[in-house]
Structure 1
Amino acid sequence: MIRLTDLTIRFPGFTLDHISLHVRRGEFFALMGSTGSGKTLVLESVAGLTKPSGGTVRVGGRDVTRLPPEERNVSLVYQDHALFPHLTVLQNVMYGQRYHGIAKEEGRRQARELLDTLGLSRLENRRPEHLSGGEKQRTALARALACGPDVILLDEPLSSLDPQFRGELRRTLKHVHETTGTTFLMVTHDFADAMILAERGAVIKDGRLHQQDTVANIFRRPATPFTASFVGMTNVFPARYAQGCCTFAGHAFEGLPELPAWQTGFAALRPEDVFVGSAGDFPEGWRILRGTVERVEREGFTWTAVVHCGDQTLTALVDRHMVLSRGLESGSTVTLGFAGEHLHHMPEND
């Protein structure tokens, strides 16, 4: 449905560098990256709001690279909603239909169906100032859908919402995608949103794509150290590979499954795949490291132990019982364990 080929956009101090991306018809695709990575530029190039310096943009098989926004049949939903403050919810939703040849009464019927689907029927006569953040975002989504677009573009749709509304809107987006079959391209800095909503995705940094794959593969098998860090695989170490052995964090591990052919690269572990205990606590065949606790951190109901091992630092998720019952604290000597199949390897060049 969307195919970008060598898309390049140049601004002073920043270049979107030869982006090639394919979003299939009817899928929910997430483009992930930090602030300033270029992900919104990609979105705006598909919408026709930013002119490329090179490359092509195709939507539904048509080359739309030089077409104005109104001829592309795509709808863009910004994170700040961009609702007209003087119009009601229903009027906002119907606003764009006049430019797509939809008769007023038919448009009103379609708009009310969308309001019903999105749980907004009782609010159709309210103005945006009297809506919550989640209600505003759902109104903006209804307006985007009301014109019957081939593609919905979402710019950080959940970032401005309070936590209690995020889950509600995630469920709404998933329901709308499943029931309409519309193609969605979402940009986000939050990998959790991508995990819940998208089948496939890509990671962008400094105007360059680092990986394009299923979201599950990006999560479990990141292609670069940056992607690993972005998806929460925070234990990334320089590693050496020789004679069936992988050496990192001052420890050498033999007999690991699927060791790569390269001599130097990176080994990585997710914090939830590293466990703290005693040597006898781990299943047979697990790999063991020993180290000293640097600090124990708490974030909400989650605890992490940061442990010095050799010349590196590992982070492990720990439960409250472990912290309190074993006196886990700075300076404690601990044993860490992990299953060999959870160790992920990446080449040196990223």
Structure 2
Amino acid sequence: MLEIKGLSLALGEFSLADVNLTVRDGEYFIVLGPTGAGKTILLETIAGIYAPDTGSIALDGLDVTRTDPKDRGIGMVYQDYMLFPHLTVGENIGFGLKQRRDEPSLIAERVSETADLLGIGRLLGRTPGTLSGGEQQRAAIARALVLRPGVLLLDEPLSALDAVTRDRLRRELKAVHRATGTTVVHITHHFEDIFALADRVAVMQDGKVVQTGTPDEVFRKPATEFVAAFTGMENVFYGVSRVRDGEATIDLGAIVVRTVTAVEGDVCLGIRPEEVIVSREPFESSATNVFFGTVTEVQQNGIFSRVVVDVGLPFVAVLTRQSIARLGLAEGEPAYVTFKASAVHVFGR
């Protein structure tokens, strides 16, 4: 549906460098990355606001790299809504249709239909200044959707909202996507957006796409040290890998970790906190990595808590508060850390 090949663009402090992406028809595709990674520039280049220095953008097999933005069939929604304050919600939603000189009866029908889809049908006569942030964002999304774009681009659409509104709008976006089948490219900082909405994810770093895959693939099998750290793989260590018969031992100095990898020499390894088991006695399992140490930190964070066990290196684990109480885990108490060989992700350095 949307195919980007070799896209590069230098724009002041920001740039895109040889970006290659394919977004399938009807897919909800999320682009994740830190501030300055080039996410918004990528969206604006897809929309036609910027012309790339090199590379191409194709929609449904048609090259639109140099096509005027209004002729691309792409809708874009920014996080700050950009609604016209002097127009009603209904007039805002119908603005693009009016500019296109559609029949007034068709405009009214489309506006009503799209507003109802976003749950703001009752607000059509009001002005943006009288709406909550969530309502304004719904109106902005409706204004883009009413034109029935081939691709809908969402630039951090939930970032300016409070947690409760953000969660509600996530559910509504999922329902709208299911109802319309619109291809969506959504950029975000929030990991919750990915698991609630994304079919696939691309991670950007310094203007480049460094990994693409399903949410599970990206979070459980990061391709680089950067992706591991950025997606919350807190247990990141450096060592030397030696491989024999497909199995590897990685010397981290204080401990030696066993895993399966073909990467030898100086490496970085990562283990997600949720893959680490903490126990007071040796844990009975097939896991090959078991280390004894001392609890150095127990940080209560609502339902789940963060526990750090020093086994020569500090390992972070995530446990429920009930598990911590049942095990009697507290700072200074002895504990075992256990994790499977398959939980260890190895990256070359």
Same fold (TM over 0.5): yes
- Name the CA shift for 1:324/1:279 in 2 (closer, same or farther; >3 Å): closer
Contact 1:279-1:288 within 8 A present in 2 as well: no
1:327: Cα distance to partner?
5.0
1:84: Cα distance to partner?
0.9
Aligned twin of 2:188 = 188
**1:145-294 to 2 correspondences below 5 Å:** 145-242=145-242, 243=244, 244-249=247-252, 250-254=254-258, 256=259, 258-294=260-296
C-alpha distance in 2 between matches for 1:105 and 1:309: 71
Structure 2: give runs of 5+ residues left out of the alignment. Answer: none
Does 1:321 find its partner at 2:322? Answer: yes
1:125: Cα distance to partner?
0.9
In structure 1, give the amino acid aligned to 2:149. P
Aligned twin of 1:46 = 46
In structure 1, give the amino acid aligned to 2:319. V
C-alpha distance in 1 between matches for 2:95 and 2:28: 25
1:267: Cα distance to partner?
2.1
- The alignment partner of 2:6 has SS state of strand
Contact 1:241-1:262 within 8 A present in 2 as well: yes
Contact 1:201-1:214 within 8 A present in 2 as well: yes
Structure 1: give runs of 5+ residues left out of the alignment. Answer: none
TM-score with structure 2 setting the length: 0.92
Contact 2:268-2:347 within 8 A present in 1 as well: yes
C-alpha distance in 1 between matches for 2:238 and 2:82: 46
C-alpha distance in 2 between matches for 1:292 and 1:215: 33
1:122: Cα distance to partner?
1.2
In structure 2, give the amino acid aligned to 1:291. G
CA deviations 1:239-289 (Å, max 9, x no partner) are 3322333225422244x4x33243332222111111211233442445211
Contact 2:9-2:16 within 8 A present in 1 as well: yes
**1:24-39 to 2 correspondences below 5 Å:** 24-39=24-39
CA deviations 1:293-312 (Å, max 9, x no partner) are 332223333311123332x3
Contact 1:32-1:203 within 8 A present in 2 as well: yes
Corresponding pairs, count: 345
In structure 1, give the amino acid aligned to 2:230. F
Aligned twin of 1:297 = 299
In structure 2, give the amino acid aligned to 1:344. H
1:344: Cα distance to partner?
2.1
- The alignment partner of 1:280 has SS state of coil
- Name the CA shift for 1:322/1:200 in 2 (closer, same or farther; >3 Å): closer
- The alignment partner of 1:279 has SS state of coil
Aligned twin of 2:335 = 334
- Name the CA shift for 1:143/1:241 in 2 (closer, same or farther; >3 Å): same
